[in-house]
Structure 1
Amino acid sequence: MTSTALSATTAATHRSTHLRLDGIGVSHPGRRVLTDVSLTVTTGERIGLIGENGAGKTTLLHVAAGLLVPGTGTVHRPEATGLLRQDLDLPAPTTLEQVVEQAVAEIRALEHRLAVLAAGIAEEPGDPAMADAYDAVLRDAERHGLWALDARIETVLHGLGLARLPRSRAVGELSGGQRRRLALAALLLARPTALLLDEPTNHLDDDAVDFLAGELAGWRGPVLLASHDRWFLDEVATGVVDLDPALGPDESAGGPPRQGTPSTGGYSSYLEHRELARRRWAERFAAQGQERERLQEIADVSGREIFHTTAPKSEGRITRKFYGDRAAKTVGGRVRSARHRLAALERTAVGAPPEPLRFAGFDRGAATAIDAELPLVRLTGARVEGRLAATDLELRAGDRVLVEGPNGTGKSTLLAVLAGELRPDGGTVQRQGSVVVGRLAQDDAWPDLSCTAEAAFRSRLRDGDRAPTLEELGLLRAGDADRPLGELSPGQRRRVALAALVAEPAPLLLLDEPTNHLSLALAEELERALEDFPGTVVLATHDRWVRRRWRGRVVPVRPGTA
């Protein structure tokens, strides 16, 4: 649940309030996870770690906590450093009350120490060492809020949605989300100097995320957190460190891409930094192309051009030869120089910037079959017992609809009804002809995980022979596209499912939690691609970043009666 003052041979634990990692390198069998990552988190700073799944965010947090010794580099952490892990290991019989009291045990112990020191001062009132010790413990008690501790416990449990649980409830009886929130509550109550948080907003609703954001905004020590929650990063982070290789060649021309590219400010500032880097990359690539053309033109000078600059015909033969030889040497030197520079340019050539994600055009038959004057789908009182209340909804060509509601209210059920995959128990569903529907389910189901990613992708296409590859779409590297689905991460399998909709988009797209398991960069590209998508989009998501920026229609859903 928490990790405090854990040491490693390459790490030092001391009383500094800063967290510093210098030149961190970590390798796993067959691959390098972190390469020369350096960052410093000072008192009051909140640094967000972002990057693809597998980029090393959790690994870096474990190094910072002292749970993992890096292959290279050093770590300096405050004496009290607490880690919230993604995976929890709490004994099942432990009660909620025991977890809370264990978290605040050191703070409660301050009261006993004060009583002991006060008794000592009463016996020896003139002892300055005893008085100094009492003052030091008193300062600790005030800093940790000893006399408001019980009120603090209530505030944290309420803020994280745990106040209604009986304190006698065993951890083994809690849901995964409740255990995760309990671990976060215990960490906040323990008040370590430095906080290391791995996906802290997982299993939190909007109110709990707001509470956590407020807690971190007032945290006195350094905070290092890994998160896919863009709203949270924008609200909380004072800086963002991207563990994916640097975007563009600016920092690394002629060498390996650099990890740990920092930017100041929240997630919005990071996006501006990233867009600037992308622009610089494109400008540098364009300038390189122009220089290549100029040098090639010089290098291709023909022998005939060497004699363009000669003496007038009235000059004598010897004079003409002199001028001709000098011109040949001059032009020949320019040609050799151009060829050398051209070869050097090719050795350090900047690759083309990646194309942003775009939806391909509609299949001609699917597009021409739509009558823009008529609804694509119309629900009238459609309901599913226990899952979706009676719902009226009309979708037309080009509509943008956001489906909102807490977990269990029927968002996924509504999308399944719209897709024709689920027949409602009541009400009516009217469709315009045989409108083609593309659906991205919340949990992608693959019948054969031994199938390669490329084959699985093509199995979902109407015309797999003409479609681009996963690598050409920019959604998987060639090596990963040839691996079985079962060997891929959830994020990579999500990309394969998304690829089918990108390569052959349907006029009606139904997207259920589309940003789940995606890197933040790809999630941004997907949202931009949807803005330019000419068809109809219905999107269900908990992603607060998406919901806050939504400009289309919003449809709230209610659960059906059991």
Structure 2
Amino acid sequence: MTSTASSAATAAPHRSAHLRLDGIGVSHPGRRVLTDVSLTVATSERIGLIGENGAGKTTLLHVAAGLLVPGTGTVRRPERTGLLRQELELPATTTLAQVVEQAVVEVRALEHRLTALAAGIAEAPDDAATADAYDTVLRDAERHGLWALEARIETVLGGMGLARLPRSRAVGELSGGQRRRLALAALLLARPTALLLDEPTNHLDDDAVDFLADELAGWRGPVLLASHDRWFLDEVATGVVDLDPAMGPDESAGGPPRQGTSSTGGYSAHLAQRELARRRWAERFAAQGQERERLQEIAEVSGREIFHTTAPKSEGRITRKFYSDRAAKTVGGRVRSARHRLDALERTAVGAPPEPLSFAGFDRGAEPAIDADLPLVRLSGARVAGRLAPTDLELRAGDRLLVEGPNGSGKSTLLAVLAGELRPNGGAVERQGSVAVGRLAQDDSWPDLSCPAEAAFRSRLRAGDRAPTLAELGLLRDGDASRPLGELSPGQRRRVALAALVAEPAPLLLLDEPTNHLSLALAEELERALEDYPGTVVLATHDRWVRRRWRGRVLPVRSGAD
């Protein structure tokens, strides 16, 4: 996992079933994204990529897919390698049927090829070349499931929760989650040898995640996936590669920490191995500091002693000079040895363990004027036609509510009603005065992606001039906070959206899939911060890791479709 290569050329796809990246380095203007990353994904291996938002996971996947040529390093990939992007670009007028047919076009072509070859054999039964070609295509057809293709299409669309959608439906008419699931379904139907998946479980409900996990468990080629889904990584990954430089420098030399350190097993196993490695790194750094101080003291104190060496006063002048010269020689040798060892130590010095971003938590500020004896919001039979069934709900100060349900059941719709952004078609909504609401939408929307992140964050605040910076909140480093939103990763933009709620927390906080795109470390810090949140929290999520540890109320919702 840690071997390197210096060539800047990216090799063409090859017939090996392995995926191999050696010494990958990628730079953007003013910053380094990837440094000397090496990894190999063998057949049937499923390697999870993790790391802070902006650590380069998506960049590495694009390098692996051949969409980005690295500044240094080489890539070897199977001839048929498929990538699921984190953000999709499908023409709005493309229909679901067209997406599906494009995905299986190579399998359909096998059928046409078989038909043509069969006709050739009928015309020339003794043509051995045609017969051999027919046998080869027949084996390919069997391997790619040509005879069960229609059943496979139905199975995959059903597994992604898309079976009930008309095949004539245009992509532009689908929700963001549906488009995402359609792209994943198309990739599974295309059956590339190697799979590259960027946040594959975003927008998937439990049934779809289970289906995907089963698909990947039986995948014959290499799978490299970037994910912040802790449950999914535990369930699916056979190994984890961490792009954060937090596991320590190479044991055999000094220099900067490695990027792309690996561990076996899923996410939980990685946490244990990572913590052990980080503790060893800290111990080595501390021991190095103590040794440096010891050598410096020898060099400085003994150096002064050279010039203050004396012999007993009772001795004669010649004897005193003898003792003085011998002492000076001994001390001088010790000084030279200490200085040589100091030089060697500095050449191979272990760097300090990097300080990760640390989420500062919610700014408590002044407690809102809320009457604890009255509900903040009360829904009585509130419904939205086709989207949310009649719902009764009462929220009071300090409540914790988890909203559960499959895709399309109305979770986001319910949060929009609670926020006052959507008026129900029926039922009633009562609010306690003008209670301020903070809402994190499932999909972040920014009108101007050229706006620097810090300015975009402050534009969403009531008192932007008095708020802490993104760096002070522990959500973005200063260098990233000054960059335009369009240059940030989806996870970094998610942090900017979250920052507005963190800096000015509202009495009622509504979070729709809050862990989507967030790094694993920040997701856990956010969960801990919500436990002490002074207001009321409503959380809608598919994240099983979050749901299994939830200790508040739970509200199952169902669609209002007739």
In the superposition, relative to structure 1, how do residues 551 and 175 fare at CA in structure 2: closer, same or farther (>3 Å)?
closer
**Superposed, which structure 2 residues align to 1:372-391 within 5 Å?**
386=384, 389-391=391-393
Size of the alignment, in residue pairs? 544
Aligned to 2:98: 98
Is 1:354–2:328 an aligned residue pair?
A: no
CA distance in structure 1 between the partners assigned to 2:199 and 2:522 by the alignment: 18
Aligned to 1:441: 440
CA distance in structure 2 between the partners assigned to 1:506 and 1:176 by the alignment: 27
8 Å CA contact 1:281, 1:353 repeated in 2: no
8 Å CA contact 1:389, 1:559 repeated in 2: no
Report the residue type matching 2:391 in the other structure.
A
CA distance in structure 1 between the partners assigned to 2:276 and 2:267 by the alignment: 14
SS where residue 301 of structure 1 aligns? helix
CA distance in structure 2 between the partners assigned to 1:65 and 1:363 by the alignment: 45
CA distance in structure 1 between the partners assigned to 2:464 and 2:29 by the alignment: 39
CA distance in structure 1 between the partners assigned to 2:132 and 2:423 by the alignment: 75
User: Gapped runs of 5+ residues in structure 1?
Assistant: 1-7
Q: By how many angstroms is 1:216 displaced?
A: 1.5
8 Å CA contact 1:13, 1:78 repeated in 2: yes
Aligned to 2:285: 285
In the superposition, relative to structure 1, how do residues 292 and 360 fare at CA in structure 2: closer, same or farther (>3 Å)?
farther
Is 1:213–2:213 an aligned residue pair?
A: yes
In the superposition, relative to structure 1, how do residues 116 and 358 fare at CA in structure 2: closer, same or farther (>3 Å)?
closer
Aligned to 1:453: 454
Q: By how many angstroms is 1:122 displaced?
A: 5.6
Aligned to 1:134: 134
Report the residue type matching 1:19 in the other structure.
L
Q: By how many angstroms is 1:319 displaced?
A: 3.7
Q: By how many angstroms is 1:24 displaced?
A: 3.3
8 Å CA contact 2:206, 2:542 repeated in 1: no
Q: Which deviations, in whole Å up to 9, do the C-alpha atoms of 1:85-107 show, x marking residues without a partner?
A: 34444455444333333333332
In the superposition, relative to structure 1, how do residues 309 and 244 fare at CA in structure 2: closer, same or farther (>3 Å)?
same
CA distance in structure 2 between the partners assigned to 1:294 and 1:376 by the alignment: 66
CA distance in structure 1 between the partners assigned to 2:296 and 2:234 by the alignment: 47
Compare 15-24 and 405-414 and name the one that shifted more. 405-414
Aligned to 1:224: 224
Is 1:540–2:542 an aligned residue pair?
A: no
SS where residue 282 of structure 2 aligns? helix
Compare 328-337 and 306-315 and name the one that shifted more. 306-315
Report the residue type matching 2:46 in the other structure.
R
Report the residue type matching 2:545 in the other structure.
V
Aligned to 2:478: 478
Aligned to 1:3: none
Report the residue type matching 1:45 in the other structure.
E
Aligned to 2:50: 50
Relative to the length of structure 1, the TM-score reads 0.76
CA distance in structure 2 between the partners assigned to 1:56 and 1:186 by the alignment: 25
CA distance in structure 2 between the partners assigned to 1:106 and 1:235 by the alignment: 31
Report the residue type matching 2:218 in the other structure.
G
CA distance in structure 2 between the partners assigned to 1:458 and 1:330 by the alignment: 69
Q: By how many angstroms is 1:292 displaced?
A: 3.3
8 Å CA contact 2:16, 2:78 repeated in 1: yes
CA distance in structure 2 between the partners assigned to 1:261 and 1:242 by the alignment: 5
Compare 357-366 and 514-523 and name the one that shifted more. 357-366
CA distance in structure 2 between the partners assigned to 1:173 and 1:267 by the alignment: 36
Aligned to 2:394: 392
CA distance in structure 1 between the partners assigned to 2:487 and 2:110 by the alignment: 51
In the superposition, relative to structure 1, how do residues 77 and 359 fare at CA in structure 2: closer, same or farther (>3 Å)?
closer
SS where residue 48 of structure 1 aligns? strand
Aligned to 2:3: none
Aligned to 1:108: 108
Q: By how many angstroms is 1:450 displaced?
A: 5.8
**Superposed, which structure 2 residues align to 1:75-474 within 5 Å?**
75-118=75-118, 121=121, 128-245=128-245, 247-250=247-250, 254-301=254-301, 318-339=318-339, 341-342=341-342, 345=345, 348=349, 350-354=351-355, 357=358, 359=360, 386=384, 389-393=391-395, 402-406=402-406, 409=410, 441-442=440-441, 453=454, 470-471=470-471, 474=474
Aligned to 2:4: none
Relative to the length of structure 2, the TM-score reads 0.76
SS where residue 11 of structure 1 aligns? coil
SS where residue 476 of structure 2 aligns? coil
8 Å CA contact 1:515, 1:543 repeated in 2: no
CA distance in structure 2 between the partners assigned to 1:400 and 1:102 by the alignment: 45
In the superposition, relative to structure 1, how do residues 308 and 133 fare at CA in structure 2: closer, same or farther (>3 Å)?
same
CA distance in structure 1 between the partners assigned to 2:395 and 2:284 by the alignment: 49
Q: By how many angstroms is 1:155 displaced?
A: 0.9
8 Å CA contact 2:458, 2:464 repeated in 1: no
Q: By how many angstroms is 1:307 displaced?
A: 9.7
SS where residue 201 of structure 2 aligns? coil
8 Å CA contact 1:402, 1:552 repeated in 2: no
Q: By how many angstroms is 1:401 displaced?
A: 5.2
CA distance in structure 2 between the partners assigned to 1:422 and 1:111 by the alignment: 50
Q: Which deviations, in whole Å up to 9, do the C-alpha atoms of 1:285-335 show, x marking residues without a partner?
A: 222232233234434527886799976666555445433443344334434
CA distance in structure 1 between the partners assigned to 2:362 and 2:26 by the alignment: 43
Q: Which deviations, in whole Å up to 9, do the C-alpha atoms of 1:216-238 show, x marking residues without a partner?
A: 21111222233333332332222
8 Å CA contact 1:362, 1:506 repeated in 2: no
SS where residue 13 of structure 2 aligns? strand
Measured on the aligned residues, the alpha-carbon RMSD in Å equals 4.8
In the superposition, relative to structure 1, how do residues 358 and 47 fare at CA in structure 2: closer, same or farther (>3 Å)?
closer
Q: By how many angstroms is 1:41 displaced?
A: 2.2
8 Å CA contact 1:159, 1:207 repeated in 2: yes
In the superposition, relative to structure 1, how do residues 232 and 392 fare at CA in structure 2: closer, same or farther (>3 Å)?
same
8 Å CA contact 1:454, 1:469 repeated in 2: no
In the superposition, relative to structure 1, how do residues 500 and 343 fare at CA in structure 2: closer, same or farther (>3 Å)?
farther
Q: Which deviations, in whole Å up to 9, do the C-alpha atoms of 1:373-409 show, x marking residues without a partner?
A: x88977666776647832235565xx86544345674
8 Å CA contact 1:383, 1:560 repeated in 2: no
In the superposition, relative to structure 1, how do residues 420 and 91 fare at CA in structure 2: closer, same or farther (>3 Å)?
closer
Report the residue type matching 1:138 in the other structure.
L
Q: Which deviations, in whole Å up to 9, do the C-alpha atoms of 1:321-378 show, x marking residues without a partner?
A: 43344334433443454455456656636225426736579879869x999xx88977
SS where residue 518 of structure 1 aligns? coil
Aligned to 1:552: 551
8 Å CA contact 1:415, 1:512 repeated in 2: no
In the superposition, relative to structure 1, how do residues 280 and 439 fare at CA in structure 2: closer, same or farther (>3 Å)?
farther
CA distance in structure 2 between the partners assigned to 1:495 and 1:487 by the alignment: 14
CA distance in structure 2 between the partners assigned to 1:446 and 1:170 by the alignment: 24
Q: By how many angstroms is 1:143 displaced?
A: 1.2
Q: By how many angstroms is 1:550 displaced?
A: 1.0
8 Å CA contact 1:411, 1:557 repeated in 2: no
In the superposition, relative to structure 1, how do residues 145 and 180 fare at CA in structure 2: closer, same or farther (>3 Å)?
same
SS where residue 48 of structure 2 aligns? strand
